[in-house]
């Protein structure tokens, strides 16, 4: 396994300079398949990034500070076989070195943990002060034919509507604190979509796992009613029956979104059902000053320690570890190339608070510098008490 992962690293890292020379490739471009077939002999698309993330963990100003560095490379690959078949793949390579590798118990297990049934990658090499990890987190075939679409393989099934928390995201729930993983986690699954009309569709998705009790499969019906996008979900979520709904629209000039999911255990007698609801509002002024307000409630939260919520994978039933939380965000474009933002989370149950100021500099067309902090604080025995603070500096080059 380690030899195969090393081959992946050797193949992907040198490719950065080669593919960066192609100025026609832009990660944000929309690809017209017919145009590629008619005007461009190449049916390949390759993009990605190279990032350097420097972090400082500050348990307290008088405590022992920890310094770390992470080099993060990603390569995304697409092959357009014809107008109805596309091959997608994505590889993620990371090199860690610093105090955390030495000081955090089981650091390698935290980095290497995965919810994938089919694991393509792992730890390539490690020592007392470094760790190299490589994995393929996207590998799928996409088929488009008339009103039908199917995606088979490692993919992200994104059913979320709101920003900070997504109760409808049954397959790919993610942690807001993991800001350096923009693509977010995927899953080994099959998704089939049928476009009923230009405004409505129905999707069926199922993952694969080692046992039936770990599997998730669900149907999602999407439609538009009076300029509101609605979705309705029903399915099996591990050992629960899941019923959900979501919407996205506007109240005058303000965005109004929400997600609701009800989990009813069908196997474990005596386990209480869980209802999770999330409502979000966002508004942007003409001068680019923008606001976001989000509320989430969970009738049956999964209790955890103040460290586990940062290191353990997030599930659709475990988006928050308390009953009620609020998210508030304020952003402003200082200049077209400099953006500032302040995110905050308040866990009302135990009065713990998370603050996340960021400032993003666009240095060139494909280079960005991000300076951010994550500050956790709270009363004694609260979820965030004792977690400390983190400061990050990230330089990112996209190709």
Write out pLDDT tens, residues 179-203.
999 999 999 999 999 999 999 999 9
8: its two tokens: 């992946």
- Position 49 in a domain: no
Print the SS3 string covering the chain.
Answer: CHHHHHHHHHHHCCHHHHHHCCCCCCCCCCCCHHHHHHHCCCCEEEEEEEEEEEEEEECCCCCCCEEEEEEEEEEEEEEECCCCEEEEEEEEEEEEEEHHHHHCCCHHHHHHCCCCCCCCEEEEEECCCEEEEEEEEEEEEEEEECCEEEEEEEECCCCCCCCCCCCCCCCCCCCCCCCCCCCCCCEEEEEEEEECCCCCEEEEEEECCCCHHHCEEEEEEEEEECCEEEEEEEEEECCEEEEEEEEEEEECCEEEEEEEEEEEECCCCCCCCEEEEEEEEEEECCCCCEEEEEEEEECCCCCCCCCHHHHCCCCCCCCCCCCEEEEEEEEEEEECCEEEEEEEEEECCCCEEEEEEEEEEEEECCEEEEEEEEEEECCCCCCCCCCCEEEEEEEEEEC
- Position 387 in a domain: yes
> For the ranges 11-15, 105-109, 140-144, 249-253, which has the lowest average pLDDT?
11-15
Q: What is the pLDDT of residue 304?
A: 74
- Position 62 in a domain: no
Q: What is the pLDDT of residue 4?
A: 40
Write out pLDDT tens, residues 62-111.
778 999 999 999 999 999 999 999 999 999 999 999 999 988 888 898 89
What is the CATH number for 178? 2.40.160.10
- Position 151 in a domain: no
- Position 322 in a domain: yes
Asked if residue 40 has pLDDT above 80, the reply is no
Sorting pLDDT into bands at 50, 70 and 90, what band is 23? very low
Q: What is the pLDDT of residue 379?
A: 87
Look up the pTM and report it: 0.85
Asked if residue 257 has pLDDT above 70, the reply is yes
Q: What is the pLDDT of residue 10?
A: 40
Q: Mean per-residue pLDDT for 390-399? A: 97
Asked if residue 34 has pLDDT above 50, the reply is no
- Position 124 in a domain: no
For the chain, what is the largest distance between any 2 Cα atoms, rounded to a whole number of angstroms?
65
- Position 58 in a domain: no
- Of the candidates 212, 236, 179, the residue with the CA atom closest to the CA atom of residue 357: 179
Please state the domain count of the chain.
1
Considering the chain, what is the average pLDDT of its residues?
88
Asked if residue 313 has pLDDT above 50, the reply is yes
Write out pLDDT tens, residues 265-312.
998 778 899 999 999 999 999 999 999 999 999 999 887 766 677 777
Asked if residue 345 has pLDDT above 70, the reply is yes
Residue 235: CB partners within 8 Å, gap ≥ 6? Answer: 170, 216, 217, 218, 219, 241, 242
Q: Mean per-residue pLDDT for 222-242? A: 97
- Position 318 in a domain: yes
CA distance 344 to 354: 5
Q: Which domain holds residue 304?
A: 156-398
């Amino acid at each position: 396994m380690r030899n195969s992962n090393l081959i992946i690293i050797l193949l992907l890292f040198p490719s950065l300079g080669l593919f960066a020379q192609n100025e026609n490739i832009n990660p944000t471009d929309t690809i017209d398949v017919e145009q590629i077939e008619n005007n461009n002999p190449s049916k390949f698309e390759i993009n990605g990034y190279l990032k350097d993330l420097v972090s400082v963990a500050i348990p307290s100003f008088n405590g022992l500070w920890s310094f770390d560095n992470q080099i993060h490379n990603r390569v995304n690959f697409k092959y357009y076989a014809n107008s109805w078949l596309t091959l997608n793949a994505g590889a993620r390579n990371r090199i860690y070195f610093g105090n955390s590798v030495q000081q955090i118990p089981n650091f390698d297990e935290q980095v290497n943990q995965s919810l994938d049934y089919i694991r393509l990658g792992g730890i390539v090499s490690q020592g007392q002060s470094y760790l190299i990890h490589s994995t393929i987190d996207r590998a799928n075939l996409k088929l488009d034919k008339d009103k039908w679409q199917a995606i088979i393989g490692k993919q992200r099934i994104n059913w979320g509507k709101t920003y900070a928390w997504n109760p409808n995201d049954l397959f790919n729930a993610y942690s807001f604190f993991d800001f350096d993983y923009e693509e977010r986690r995927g899953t080994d699954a099959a998704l089939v979509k049928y476009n009923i009309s230009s405004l409505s569709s129905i999707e069926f998705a199922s993952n694969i796992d080692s046992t039936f009790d770990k599997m998730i499969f669900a149907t999602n019906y999407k439609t538009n009613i009076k300029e509101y996008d609605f979705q309705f979900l029903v399915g099996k979520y591990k050992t629960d029956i899941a019923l959900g709904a979501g919407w996205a629209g506007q109240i005058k000039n303000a965005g109004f979104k929400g997600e609701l999911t009800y989990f009813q255990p069908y196997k474990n007698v005596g386990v209480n059902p869980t209802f999770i609801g999330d409502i979000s509002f966002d508004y942007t002024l003409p001068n680019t000053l923008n606001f976001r307000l989000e509320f989430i409630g969970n009738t049956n939260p999964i209790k955890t320690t103040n460290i586990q919520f940062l290191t353990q994978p997030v599930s659709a039933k475990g988006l928050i570890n308390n009953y009620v939380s609020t998210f508030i965000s304020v952003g402003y474009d200082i200049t077209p190339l400099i953006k500032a933002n302040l995110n905050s989370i308040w866990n009302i149950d135990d009065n713990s608070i998370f603050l996340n100021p960021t400032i993003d500099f666009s240095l060139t067309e494909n280079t960005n510098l991000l300076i951010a902090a994550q500050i956790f604080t709270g009363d004694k025995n609260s979820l965030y008490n004792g977690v400390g603070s983190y400061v990050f500096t990230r330089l990112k080059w996209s190709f």
